[in-house]
Chains A and B, each alone.
Chain A
């Protein structure tokens, strides 16, 4: 044992201690030798008084080395905590006892150790893997000292009806067990190989160090053998005591999770959240079982301990002071919960009076004189209406499906993943879920199969309602949730897809039951919507009933959509609001997940069917409508002539596109709202206003006009402000400003802004760092008329030696050149001295990617210079890498990596 050989460990932390054992596995009077990493002596030598103790318990087959970053963080003078990381008996460098220690022994062992250490003052337990269970066992046995619990990839309960993970089944198999865990070091090596990214060789050696030779690995095998796979196992009762004790813990909890874990998958996280509903939860997308190795966990843990940001009191008692360290601080009350309870109102400004449930306008129309009029319709490819419901029928269908879902087990708070394309079925099931108080999870095919799969697995729905294709994907990809099909399926197909029932069947059952009497709480969670994932993995965005209703009210007030409006819903998010707005909605014949499939003819047919006044369509859909305008016909044109309002959203909409569209809908006012999944919408602008803004920018006499996409003025009820960018291209400040011409990160505050992110505690803290605001991650500025100009994403800001470059202004200037299509401005090289690179599509399309010809490069450079940006290199690509959902958001991070590779010398592949 040579502590100097353990990278990241201060040898001073390593110590041994003799502990009298009271465990059943030992004879009375036995003394056991433990090894610990403990920074206590070091802190007192330096005169630092710790706020409390982190008691860290490793799992199998690691050792206290796993917690070295916590020891280092706790040793810093700014926030000293004593960190005691134990090597459990028969593990790490602690004694090889020759006994078989079961869960109850190990929990008792840990108590013996803390008694021997004389640990007093507040203790926060930290656990991983089966060490998580043991740490919780200690926590339940020491309520007076316990100040908080931190858990990383662990489990306290095998969810009913699901088998233990295959990897563990294999390790437990009699034919494999002894050889795999003890005789050989296979179990160790397999566990270490779970690190994402891989462990550095010296770190892997340190993890291996205490387990050289079968004689030192007995504990590894015994640990595996002590996993209670079923109720007959001797340790089952001890595990159940821990699991059932958790809801009684009255201390803050932090769950840090690596979802790429073949053993402790997201369903165990879901189980823990159910037992610790107030816990702060962060899933590190891409991290795995050894989350403490894969990600910085010390930062989040100490931030949580300090309670920065005002959303919780510091764990372990108030300020960091000697007094706090000396006195045993009583257990903390549960701080503000991550999942808002009815007792936790939202921000004062947001919880205004007059909450009207989302579905109320719909219910009113159903009960009124127009109850027999069409409410929702779907178009067939031949231009006829294939399906429609009146307001009354819609209301009855929703009630019937809601009742049916309730009978099937959907409860308030149940998560229901909806994989149903926009149209009548989706409208019915969505409103039925909301009526029940279930939480709808909406992840669309626009995320791509991998993104979608990741989103669904992370959200862990209880139910999955989907069309055939979605259910097939659920089967193949192992998506969680009890499965419900939209239509009745043949029995064989039902069995194959493990489908329990269908919406149609639920509606039939629900029709004859009593109606739902109680409305859900306004502040209960209602929906998890996924971002497009064009800037990193898609994030789940959580809305409450109140916030969804506020979204409806904002759209109604900003765009003047009232009962009586008739809308063609070619864009999913707004389409779902139609019934809530009291507007008649028709879904055109198209693949709504692929906006480019909307033709002019299909749009006109839909408009004609309901005599539409409003059209919603994404920019990609509009581009195809224009491309297919020749197929419109006279009747189609007449239908479009009656449209009063055309809305396009989801991605920036070019003025040229809107201008071309205006000729197709001559009487309509054209609007393009700006927003994001976290706040829909934030601002709004019309075509006329876009032209005025462009004229102001060209005239050059209005402060702030220009350099970006003008997105107009904040919508009804929304506040918009900025945190100025600093020279390093970040927005570290916390004071919102609205002066014209100052570029900064865009902040929005409104009743319809998201409640929180789903299981992304750190992301939520970051986005809500400025109290009362959502930080959008977009950058822009105001002009002196109060209009907002968007300059790009904060993550895409380029830091050149003399300038912080936001991409959009230069990109627009470059895209105005003849023969240039989509342009993207990215940086290569180290932050602060990056070289600016323009990557462009050309017309005609380039055959392969590479440096631009000198003439084109000169023109691009000149155009960018006119926009105030010095470009180092110009590269051409056949096509830009864009997101699947909008086909418009360029993946600049990927482009930047590609450009860096090309420009460093080497052959240019595709970006």
Chain B
């Protein structure tokens, strides 16, 4: 199959593109920076650029859309431009180009209003209740994508939950950086039970989605390792793999959530660049349960994770030892 992967310069996008190449697909990639995926044709360009998008989708039978602005902070309009308008642009171009299947890679946070999630499936995306600009715009984009689903242009959404692995800058590097500077607290002793997804598993689930569109088009599926762990234990595992000291101090979750909200506002007002030390979104992620019912996902995708959490941590440790 001729498949276009957008956002292939990221950890997960690159993983998906490489997997599809290995599976024998004719893969092209589309993102601002070169993707560096061996065996794939690269189309550098911006999702905000009509012509670039049209050129990228030309000839593709399937599209996997990962390109997005992923951050805890930034201007709301930037999130809308990339995540909402970019998705709308891609959908229009893909349908126009006769693309048959599109997998929209989303996030469980599109349906998360901040309350604990224990063993639920994929709830409907809700831009009005999702917390933060990233979640809000991804929610809106997912609704757009699923609304575009039709028998001729099949669209499904896959929501991997907290993807990590060797080379991950979003979670792993931040955790290690803070831990080395002893600025990584546990919230409420790190008891919150959370699901995560080792990057190879997320990639194989997304590839599986492309082959199971008969079963899944028109709907959203959460993907995870299906091995929920207390967040403190996961952070300790990542620190151990990266050779950093494990977090050893705890602050109340309620305090951190409140402080996160405040810091977020001050950080943005002060016009500071980069990521603030704590945001409300991060505090919520670290202090409330997020784990999911994976039974339907696994049945519909005919897929199961190949790498367990413990195996993933061992691979991560190997990665840091080799550096």
With CB as the reference atom, state the residue of chain A lying closest to B284: A905
User: Any chain A CB within 8 A of the CB of B253?
Assistant: yes
Q: Which residues of chain A have C-beta atoms less than 8 A from B191's C-beta?
A: 850-851, 873, 875, 902-903, 905-906, 908
Q: Which residues of A contact B240 (CB under 8 A)?
A: 854
B173 at the interface (CB under 8 A from A): no
Least CB distance from B189 to A in Å reads 5
In contact, B289 and A833 (Cβ under 8 angstroms): no
Taking CB atoms, residues of chain A closer than 8 Å to B73 are: none
Do most interface residues of chain B lie in helix, strand or loop, or is the interface mixed? mixed
How far is A908 from B193 in the complex, measured between Cα atoms in Å? Answer: 13
Q: Name the distance in Å between A503's Cβ and chain B's nearest Cβ.
A: 56
Q: Which residue of B lies closest to A837 (CB)?
A: B193
- Name the distance in Å between B228's Cβ and chain A's nearest Cβ: 5
- C-alpha gap A903/B229 in the complex (Å): 9
Contact B119 A833 (CB under 8 A): yes
Give min CB distance, B29 to chain A, whole Å: 34
Say whether B175 faces chain A, with CB atoms less than 8 Å apart. Answer: no
Contact with B along A845-861 (1 / 0, CB 8 A): 00000110010010000
Query: Bound state CA distance, A428 and B193, in angstroms?
Result: 58
Is there an interface contact between B118 and A829, defined as CB atoms closer than 8 Å?
A: yes
Q: Determine if A904 is an interface residue (Cβ-Cβ < 8 Å).
A: yes
**Interface status of A828 (Cβ within 8 A of chain B):** yes
Residues of A close to B188: CB separation below 8 A: 905-908
B279 at the interface (CB under 8 A from A): no
Binary contact track A875-911/B, C-beta < 8 Å → 1, others 0: 1000000000000000000000000101111111000
Contact indicator A903/B226 (Cβ below 8 Å): no
Complex: A905 Cα to B288 Cα, angstroms? 4
CB of B83 closer than 8 Å to a CB of A: no
Cβ-neighbour of B193 out of A830, A857, A873 (below 8 A): A873
Assess the B227–A870 pair: CB atoms within 8 A.
yes
Q: Is the CB of A872 within 8 A of B193?
A: yes
Shortest distance between the CB of B232 and any CB in chain A (Å): 6
Query: Can you name the residue of chain B whose Cβ is closest to the Cβ of A902?
Result: B191
With an 8 A cutoff between CB atoms, is A337 at the interface? no
B195 to chain A, nearest CB (A): 9
A830 near B119: Cβ-Cβ < 8 Å: yes
Asked if A299 lies at the interface with its beta carbon under 8 angstroms from chain B, I say: no
Residue B236 is within 8 A (CB to CB) of chain A in the complex: yes
Cβ of B291 and Cβ of A905 under 8 Å apart?
A: no
- Convert B230-266 into 0s and 1s, putting 1 for each residue whose CB lies closer than 8 angstroms to a CB of A: 1011001100100000100000110000000000000
Question: Which residues of the other chain, B, contact A908 by a CB distance below 8 angstroms?
Answer: 188-189, 191
A-side interface residues, number (CB < 8 Å): 25
The interface residues of chain A lying within 8 Å CB-to-CB of B8 are none
Q: Is B293 an interface residue (CB 8 A)?
A: yes
Q: Is the CB of A903 within 8 A of B293?
A: no
- Cβ of A620 within 8 Å of any chain B Cβ, yes or no, is no
Are B118 and A828 closer than 8 Å at their CB atoms?
yes
Is A352 an interface residue, CB under 8 A from the partner? no
Contact B230 A903, beta carbon cutoff 8 Å: yes
Q: Does A613 contact B (CB under 8 A)?
A: no
Q: Once the chains bind, are B192 and A904 in contact (CB under 8 Å)?
A: yes
Residues of chain B with a CB closer than 8 A to A851's CB: 189-191, 230, 232-233
Bound: A875/B188 CA distance, A: 13
| Nearest A-chain residue to B235, judged by Cβ | A854
Residues of chain A with a CB closer than 8 A to B120's CB: 830
Tell me if A834 is interfacial: C-beta within 8 Å of chain B. Answer: yes
- CB neighbours of B287 from chain A (8 A): 905
Bound complex: CA of A903 vs CA of B188, how far in Å?
A: 10
A905 touches B233 (CB 8 A): no
Q: How far is the CA of A902 from the CA of B288 in the complex (A)?
A: 10
Contact A857–B233 (Cβ < 8 Å): yes
What 1/0 mask marks residues of chain B from 101 to 126 whose CB sits below 8 Å from any chain A CB? 00000000000000010111000000
Residue count of chain B within 8 Å CB distance of chain A: 31
Give Cα A900–Cα B191 distance, bound, in whole angstroms. Answer: 10
Interface assignment of A245: CB less than 8 Å from any CB of chain B:
no
A835 CB within 8 Å of chain B: yes
Query: Could you tell me the distance between the alpha carbons of A773 and B230 in the complex, rounded to whole angstroms?
Result: 43
Distance, CA A902 to CA B192, complexed state (A): 7
Residue of B119, B228, B288, B294 touching A873 (CB-CB under 8 A): B228
Binary CB contact string for chain B from 51 to 85 against chain A (1 if under 8 A, 0 otherwise): 00000000000000000000000000000000000
Output the least CB separation between A78 and chain B (Å).
30
- Which residue among A830, A904, A905 has the maximum number of chain B CB atoms within 10 Å of its CB? A905
The answer, among A834, A857, A906, for a CB contact under 8 Å with B119, is: A834
Check A829 against B291 for contact (C-beta < 8 Å): yes
A872 touches B228 (CB 8 A): yes
* Contact of A903 with B193 in the complex, beta carbons under 8 Å: yes
Tell yes or no: A631 within 8 A of B by CB.
Answer: no
Q: Does B323 contact A (CB under 8 A)?
A: no
Q: Does B295 contact A (CB under 8 A)?
A: yes
- A902 contacts which chain B residues (CB < 8 A)? 191
Task: Specify which chain A residues have a CB less than 8 angstroms from the CB of B233 in the assembled complex.
Answer: 851, 854, 857, 873
* B contact residues around A835 at 8 Å (CB): 118-119, 193, 228, 291
Taking CB as reference atom, which chain B residue is nearest A801? B295
Whether a CB of chain B sits under 8 angstroms from the CB of A777 is no
CA distance A835 to B228 in the complex (A): 7
Interface centre among A834, A835, A857 (most CB of B within 10 A): A835
Interface pair A801/B226, CB less than 8 Å apart: yes
Q: Is the CB of A905 within 8 A of B289?
A: yes
Tell me the residues in window 264-302 of chain B with beta carbons closer than 8 Å to chain A beta carbons: 287-289, 291, 293-295
* B residues less than 8 Å from A830 (CB atoms): 118-120, 293
A904 to B193, CA, bound (A): 6
Q: Please tell me if the beta carbons of B228 and A906 are within 8 angstroms of each other in the complex.
A: no
| Complex: A907 Cα to B250 Cα, angstroms | 11
From known contacts A850-B189, A854-B233, infer whether A905 and B294 are also in contact, taking CB-CB under 8 Å: no
A870 to B310, CA, bound (A): 12
Q: Which chain A residues border B295 with CB–CB below 8 Å?
A: 801, 832-833
Asked whether A833 and B193 contact (CB < 8 A) given A872-B227, A904-B116, A905-B288, the answer is no
Pick the contact of A833 from B229, B230, B294 — CB < 8 Å? B294
**Chain B residue contacts of A875, Cβ below 8 A:** 191
Distance, CA A813 to CA B208, complexed state (A): 38
User: How close is B136's CB to chain A, nearest CB, in angstroms?
Assistant: 22
Give bound CA distance, A833 to B246, whole Å.
30
Q: Which residues of B contact A873 (CB under 8 A)?
A: 191, 193, 228-230, 233
Distance from A111 Cβ to chain B, minimum over Cβ atoms (Å):
55
**Closest CB of chain B to A828's CB: distance in Å?**
7
Nearest CB of chain A from residue B96's CB, rounded to whole Å: 41
Interface centre among A829, A850, A900 (most CB of B within 10 A): A829
Distance A440 CA – B116 CA, assembled complex (angstroms)? 51
B237 contacts which chain A residues (CB < 8 A)? 854
Residues of chain B with a CB closer than 8 A to A829's CB = 118-119, 291
* Shortest Cβ gap from B17 to chain A (Å): 30
State whether A828 and B193 are in contact (beta carbons under 8 Å apart), knowing that A872-B227, A905-B253 are contacts in the complex. Answer: yes
Contact B119 A903 (CB under 8 A): no
Query: How far is A854 from B237 in the complex, measured between Cα atoms in Å?
Result: 8
Which residues of A have CB within 8 Å of B293? 801, 830, 832-833
CA distance A722 to B112 in the complex (A): 44
**Whose C-beta in chain A lies nearest to the C-beta of B232?**
A851
Please name the residue on chain B nearest to A906 by beta carbon: B188
Report the bound CA distance from A486 to B16 in whole Å.
Answer: 82
Q: Are B253 and A906 in contact (CB under 8 A)?
A: yes
Complex: A870 Cα to B187 Cα, angstroms: 25
Q: Can you spell out 14 A-B residue pairs with CB atoms less than 8 angstroms apart?
A: A801-B226, A829-B119, A851-B190, A872-B228, A873-B193, A873-B230, A873-B233, A902-B191, A903-B230, A904-B288, A905-B287, A905-B289, A906-B188, A908-B189
Other A-B contacts than A829-B291, A834-B119, A908-B188, 6 sampled, CB-CB below 8 A, are A854-B240, A854-B246, A857-B233, A874-B230, A907-B252, A908-B191
Contact surface of B with A, Cβ cutoff 8 Å: 116, 118-120, 187-193, 226-230, 232-233, 236-237, 240, 246, 252-253, 287-289, 291, 293-295
Closest 5 CB pairs of A and B: A829-B119, A904-B116, A905-B288, A905-B192, A903-B193
- Residues of A at under 8 Å CB distance from B? 801, 828-830, 832-835, 850-851, 854, 857, 870, 872-875, 900, 902-908
